[in-house]
């Protein structure tokens, strides 16, 4: 980040206040920030605040005689290393996707020759609206990096995806995009498993677990951003596929094992999936019925293949094999035992006794034969960025 110049375009949404914290974080890492506010943004955060935090003039209008006499907007759009749109509102992204340039922010976005990173924040229904889905897809197609919003309670009282990611996670994405010009995983194939598996009982019922897939998807996204070819074998989750990632959807542990085998060879495999340890021995062909006799049908379980342990012994074993260990007690000792038992190179252990499964934050310990590295609690995409940085170093 040292010496990098960020042009920060602040859109008009309630999350605009978080752009102040982002400016502070970029400055702390040694970057320089120039802010541009849309008219809407000025209702949420003042130019004075951002000028003080960035220690740079703040721009709000295309009709600035002094600036435009020197081709102001063109120069502004070209003199940055990266353009960050934060928050990217539904309206701003719609204009970007359509190529509309009717104010300073949109004119800069159309005139720039630099990479653009958009950080959406909006109401969950606006994010899920077909028009926004279309606009996000076409922006990604145009080469704009559009981050996934966080899910959770919103300022408007609703719940779901649409929250601005934590400023630390945005900073990690900015750093990765800037550093990404170096693409430390270019030419590597990274295999990631994510999500739960569903093990059928009968045609309508299954055994499952609480895994949301978020951590695995974030890792796949970070690996792709670092230049890797990424295959993501995903259990049943409804998360969007990260940009640049090849996704293979599976349902059961056995499907996942087969998809992993088919995706090999890989330079690194990161097994984040919460694979069901057991499945029902004999899946019923028809829905099990209560027959009135009061006899409860017995569910006999049988063990699923251990995908990670099998991969560790496979002839085409990836050079770096990383497992995850979801534990509810004795987190590090259990992970150390798992490292030896499964034959992985690293085990990333996390304590899932709280709301980690399904939540957006995670606290992990990286357990290697040489010792344990504990990371502080952070958003799952920051965990992903930290892991991918270490994986890049290990494969270098």
Residue among 326, 339, 352, 391 that touches ligand CTP (CB under 6 A): 326
Is residue 234 within the footprint of ligand CTP (CB under 6 A)? Answer: no
Rounded-to-integer distance, Cα 248 and Cα 257, Å: 12
Rounded-to-integer distance, Cα 219 and Cα 193, Å: 10
**Least distance (Å) between residue 20 CB and ligand CTP:** 39
Residue among 44, 206, 217, 324 that touches ligand CTP (CB under 6 A): 324
In total, the chain counts a number of residues equal to: 396
Rounded-to-integer distance, Cα 228 and Cα 263, Å: 14
Is residue 268 within the footprint of ligand CTP (CB under 6 A)? Answer: no
Is residue 308 within the footprint of ligand CTP (CB under 6 A)? Answer: yes
Say which residues have a Cβ less than 8 Å from residue 290's Cβ, sequence separation at least 6: none
Residue closer to ligand CTP by CB (options 38, 211) is 211
Give the x/- contact pattern for ligand CTP in 154-193, rule: CB under 6 A.
---------------------------------------x
What is the DSSP code string of 87-152? EE-HHHHHHHHHT---SHHHHHHHH--S-EEEEE---HHHHHSHHHHHHHHHHHHTT-EEPPPEEE
Residue closer to ligand CTP by CB (options 68, 306) is 306
**Least distance (Å) between residue 271 CB and ligand CTP:** 4
Q: Which stretch binds ligand CTP (CB under 6 A): 58-66, 119-127, 237-245, 268-276?
A: 268-276
Residue among 306, 361, 375, 395 that touches ligand CTP (CB under 6 A): 306
Q: Which stretch binds ligand CTP (CB under 6 A): 37-45, 48-56, 282-290, 317-325?
A: 317-325
Is residue 9 within the footprint of ligand CTP (CB under 6 A)? Answer: no
CA angle 258, 260, 263 (to 5 degrees): 110
Residue among 277, 283, 373, 389 that touches ligand CTP (CB under 6 A): 277
What pairs with residue 37 in β-bridges? 10
Residue among 86, 312, 325, 378 that touches ligand CTP (CB under 6 A): 325
DSSP-based helix, strand, coil % in the chain, nearest 5: 35, 25, 40
Scan residues 327-366 and list those touching ligand CTP (CB under 6 A): 338
Is residue 273 within the footprint of ligand CTP (CB under 6 A)? Answer: yes
> Are the CB atoms for 345 and 322 separated by under 8 Å?
yes
Residue in the block written with tokens 């017995």:
298
3-class SS at 364? strand
Question: Which candidate in 20, 35, 86, 156 is catalytic?
Answer: 156
Query: Within a 10 A sphere around the Cβ of 153, how many other Cβ atoms?
Result: 10
CA atoms within 13 A of residue 351's CA, in its CB half-sphere: 13
Rounded-to-integer distance, Cα 268 and Cα 276, Å: 22
Is residue 196 within the footprint of ligand CTP (CB under 6 A)? Answer: no
**Least distance (Å) between residue 215 CB and ligand CTP:** 11
> Are the CB atoms for 313 and 251 separated by under 8 Å?
no
**Least distance (Å) between residue 362 CB and ligand CTP:** 14
Residue among 253, 263, 356, 388 that touches ligand CTP (CB under 6 A): 253
Residue closer to ligand CTP by CB (options 89, 350) is 350
156 is a catalytic site residue? yes
**Least distance (Å) between residue 217 CB and ligand CTP:** 14
**Exposure string for 46-66, b = 16+ CB within 10 A, e = fewer:** ebeebeebbebebbbebeeee
Is residue 228 within the footprint of ligand CTP (CB under 6 A)? Answer: no
> Are the CB atoms for 127 and 90 separated by under 8 Å?
yes
Residue among 201, 275, 366, 367 that touches ligand CTP (CB under 6 A): 275
Give me the active site residues, please.
156
Residues that bind ligand CTP (CB under 6 A): 193, 253, 271, 273, 275, 277, 304, 306-308, 323-326, 338
């Amino acid at each position: 980040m040292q010496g990098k110049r960020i042009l920060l375009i602040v859109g008009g949404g309630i999350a605009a206040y978080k752009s102040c914290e982002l400016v502070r974080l970029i400055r702390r890492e040694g970057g320089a920030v120039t802010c541009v506010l849309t008219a809407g943004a000025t209702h949420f955060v003042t130019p004075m605040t951002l000028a003080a935090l960035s220690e740079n003039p703040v721009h709000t209008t295309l009709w600035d005689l002094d600036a435009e006499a020197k081709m102001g907007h063109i120069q502004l759009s070209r003199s940055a290393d990266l353009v960050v749109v934060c928050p990217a509102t539904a309206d701003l992204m719609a204009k970007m996707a359509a190529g509309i340039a009717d104010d300073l922010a949109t004119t800069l976005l159309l005139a720039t020759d630099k990479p653009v990173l958009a950080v959406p924040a909006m109401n969950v229904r606006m994010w899920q609206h077909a028009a926004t889905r279309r606009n996000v897809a076409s922006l990604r197609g145009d080469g704009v990096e559009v981050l996934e919003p966080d899910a959770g309670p919103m300022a408007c009282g609703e719940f779901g995806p649409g929250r601005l990611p934590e400023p630390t996670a945005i900073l990690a994405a900015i750093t990765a995009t800037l550093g990404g010009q170096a693409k430390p995983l270019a030419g590597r194939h990274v295999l990631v498993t994510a999500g739960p598996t569903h093990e059928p009982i009968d045609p309508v019922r299954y055994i499952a677990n609480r895994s949301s897939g978020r951590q695995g998807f974030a890792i796949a996204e970070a690996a792709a951003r670092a230049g890797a070819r990424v295959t993501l074998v995903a259990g049943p989750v409804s998360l969007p596929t990260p940009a640049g990632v090849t996704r293979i959807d599976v349902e059961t542990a056995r499907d996942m094992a087969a998809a992993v085998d088919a995706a090999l060879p890989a330079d690194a495999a990161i097994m984040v999936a919460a694979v069901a340890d057991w499945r029902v021995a004999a899946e019923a062909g028809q829905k099990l019925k209560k027959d009135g006799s009061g006899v409860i049908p017995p569910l006999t379980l049988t063990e699923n293949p251990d995908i990670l342990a099998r991969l560790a012994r496979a002839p085409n074993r990836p050079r770096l094999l990383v497992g995850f260990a979801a534990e509810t007690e004795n987190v590090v000792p259990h992970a150390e035992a798992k490292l030896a038992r499964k034959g992985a190179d690293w085990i990333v252990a996390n304590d899932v006794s709280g709301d980690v499964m399904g939540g957006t934050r995670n606290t992990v310990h990286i357990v290697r034969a040489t010792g344990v590295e504990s990371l502080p609690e952070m958003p799952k995409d920051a965990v992903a960025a930290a892991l991918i940085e270490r994986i890049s170093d290990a494969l270098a």
